[in-house]
Amino acid sequence: MLATYVIETIGTQEYEIARGGFLQRFTDAYGPAAAAEVAPHLSGVRA
């Protein structure tokens, strides 16, 4: 998912990741069970 954000962004290291948007896209791509496994690791990411 992080690579997707990077590729979608024009420029260098200009991307921002919001926890809610990331988790929604992750859930859409990989399903709720996978998102539930990843969610605890995003505690430091802005909401």
Query: Which pLDDT score is estimated for 47?
Result: 64
pLDDT band at 44 (very low <50, low <70, confident <90, very high): confident
Residues with Cβ within 8 Å of 45's Cβ and at least 6 positions away in sequence, in order, are: 17, 18, 19, 22
CB under 8 Å, gap of 24 or more: what pairs does 19-24 form? 19/45, 19/46, 19/47, 20/47
What is the share, in percent, of the chain residues with pLDDT greater than 70? 96
Q: How far apart are the first and last CA of the chain?
A: 17
